């Protein structure tokens, strides 16, 4: 194991047990970091991005092991492995933890061999998932770089059209730099949704390229609005809404079919199925299908990404917000068929997100 892969967080409110657990794991070759309860553990995880492997007691004051697991999963964009220490009265919490994805439970008092085995098995699972994420990332990047639209003009242009799309998307990214790979991920989610919706391969490839440009109109939004920290006023939000029409005007004059589809997406990707969106106020099937697809993809990635006005949400919380709603989002905003496809296949969206994590530009 590398130095980072040996790091493990031990969380327990009883100093003797905490010391014993640390000693066992250090003898097994791990570098141990300790915390006395869930709140301290959350701060430790927040400040140390290398900590993904955790041994935690379930019963602790201030913040229980279960509350710690829930918050860590929801608040930090990280692939964790948790080993939970349980007693006779913890079975209900253990069931809840299982639903959160926890794989390892050890009964107290802890046997040294059991703890060593659990830690090594959990570490092996992390390493295997890391290898899979890297494999998927390489495949997706190859898919992007090798993609060709199927119309005659694109075949003649070869890689020139892809480069043009990439260059244009960079304009948008450099004007809103919080999530540099947001535009590319939205294109990939959109291609996936188009595939699941049964659209033909031409549309699937086109929507991936065109979806990258969905926010290109932001280049026309003043910095004091686009880059504002905090909530926009009503007047500022009206200015922000103009990015859909600006994007449409930028792209609609081209004879290139991909840019023509991108213009439609730019204009209508903030329309809502129930009619509450902008700028035109379309509803239902009057909203172009490609815009309905990009709308859902855009919301998922926006929830997963940190913004100046909000933290990044974990995958489970993002899915819950889209499918059940919160104060800003409701399921009625989305095409019901597409929403159902997303709900049934949301792990494929998570895979794309994990394969292309945000990087500062």
* Residue written as token pair 């802890």: 110
- Do the domain assignments include residue 335? yes
- Do the domain assignments include residue 281? yes
- Do the domain assignments include residue 88? yes
174 with 81, same domain: the answer is: no
**CB–CB of 86/58 below 8 Å?**
yes
pLDDT of 333 reads 96
126 with 170, same domain: the answer is: no
250 with 183, same domain: the answer is: yes
Residue at a domain's end among 65, 99, 130: 130
- Do the domain assignments include residue 73? yes
Instruction: Give the other-Cβ count within 10 Å of 21's Cβ.
Output: 26
pLDDT of 129 reads 78
- Do the domain assignments include residue 163? yes
Rounded to two decimals, the pTM is 0.56
Please, what sign has the CA dihedral across residues 93, 95, 99, 102?
A: positive
125 with 151, same domain: the answer is: no
Instruction: Provide the CATH number for the domain around residue 206.
Output: 1.10.3210.10
- Do the domain assignments include residue 117? yes
Q: How far apart are CA 91 and CA 106, in angstroms?
A: 12
**CB–CB of 11/47 below 8 Å?**
no
115 with 39, same domain: the answer is: yes
Residue at a domain's end among 82, 102, 130: 130
191 with 305, same domain: the answer is: yes
| Total domain count, the chain | 2
173 with 272, same domain: the answer is: yes
Residue at a domain's end among 130, 159, 178: 130
55 with 106, same domain: the answer is: yes
All residues at 6 or more sequence positions from 31 whose CB lies less than 8 Å from its CB, including other chains: 3, 6, 7, 8
pLDDT of 257 reads 82
- Do the domain assignments include residue 142? no
Each residue's pLDDT expressed in tens, for the chain with a length of 361 residues: 444 568 999 999 999 999 999 999 999 999 999 999 999 999 999 888 789 999 999 889 889 888 999 899 888 767 889 999 987 655 677 777 887 778 888 988 889 999 999 999 999 888 887 777 677 666 655 554 444 433 443 444 445 555 556 656 556 555 554 455 788 889 899 999 999 999 988 888 889 888 888 888 887 888 788 878 778 898 999 999 998 998 898 888 777 788 888 899 999 999 999 999 998 899 999 999 999 999 999 999 999 987 777 788 999 999 999 999 988 899 999 999 999 999 999 999 998 888 877 654 4
110 with 236, same domain: the answer is: no
Instruction: Provide the CATH number for the domain around residue 28.
Output: 3.40.50.2300
199 with 337, same domain: the answer is: yes
pLDDT of 161 reads 55
**CB–CB of 83/117 below 8 Å?**
no
pLDDT of 184 reads 81
Reported residue count of the chain is 361
Burial of 262: CB neighbours in 10 Å, binned 0-12, 13-18, 19+: buried
All residues at 6 or more sequence positions from 144 whose CB lies less than 8 Å from its CB, including other chains: 162, 184, 188, 208
227 with 155, same domain: the answer is: yes
User: Domain span at residue 99?
Assistant: 4-130
Task: Say how far residue 165 (Cα) sits from the centre of its chain.
Answer: 23
The catalytic residue positions are 218
Q: How far apart are CA 41 and CA 164, in angstroms?
A: 46
Task: Say how far residue 130 (Cα) sits from the centre of its chain.
Answer: 16
Q: How far apart are CA 23 and CA 39, in angstroms?
A: 23
- Do the domain assignments include residue 136? no
106 with 177, same domain: the answer is: no
């Amino acid at each position: 194991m590398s130095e980072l892969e040996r790091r493990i967080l031990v969380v327990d409110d009883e100093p003797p047990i905490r010391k014993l657990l640390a000693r066992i794991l250090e003898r097994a070759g791990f570098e141990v970091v300790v915390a006395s309860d869930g709140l301290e553990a959350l701060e430790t995880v927040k400040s140390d991005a290398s900590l993904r492997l955790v041994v935690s007691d379930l019963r602790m004051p201030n913040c229980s092991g279960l509350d710690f697991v829930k918050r860590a999963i929801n608040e930090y964009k990280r692939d964790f492995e948790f080993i939970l220490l349980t007693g006779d009265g913890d079975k209900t919490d253990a069931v809840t933890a299982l639903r959160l994805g926890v794989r390892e439970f050890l009964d107290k008092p802890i046997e040294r061999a059991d703890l060593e085995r659990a830690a090594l098995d959990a570490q092996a699972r992390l390493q295997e998932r890391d290898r899979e994420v890297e494999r998927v990332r390489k495949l997706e990047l190859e898919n992007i770089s090798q993609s060709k639209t199927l119309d005659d003009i694109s075949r003649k242009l070869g890689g020139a059209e892809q480069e043009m799309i990439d260059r244009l998307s960079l304009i948008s990214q450099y004007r809103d730099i919080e999530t540099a790979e947001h535009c590319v991920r939205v294109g990939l989610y959109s291609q996936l949704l188009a595939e699941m919706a049964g659209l033909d391969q031409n549309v699937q490839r086109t929507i991936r390229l065109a979806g990258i440009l969905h926010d290109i109109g932001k280049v026309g939004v003043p910095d004091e609005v686009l880059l504002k920290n905090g909530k926009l006023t009503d007047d500022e939000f009206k200015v922000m809404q103009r990015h859909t029409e600006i994007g449409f005007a930028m792209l609609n004059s081209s004879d290139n079919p991909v840019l023509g589809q991108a213009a439609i997406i730019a204009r209508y990707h903030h329309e809502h199925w129930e009619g509450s969106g902008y700028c035109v106020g379309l509803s239902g099937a009057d909203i172009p299908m490609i815009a309905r697809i990009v709308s859902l993809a855009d919301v998922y990635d926006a929830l997963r990404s940190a913004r100046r006005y909000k933290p990044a949400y974990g995958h489970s919380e993002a899915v819950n917000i889209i499918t059940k709603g919160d104060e800003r989002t409701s399921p009625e905003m989305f095409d019901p068929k597409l929403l159902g496809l997303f709900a049934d296949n949301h792990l494929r969206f998570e895979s794309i997100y994990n394969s292309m994590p945000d990087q500062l530009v």
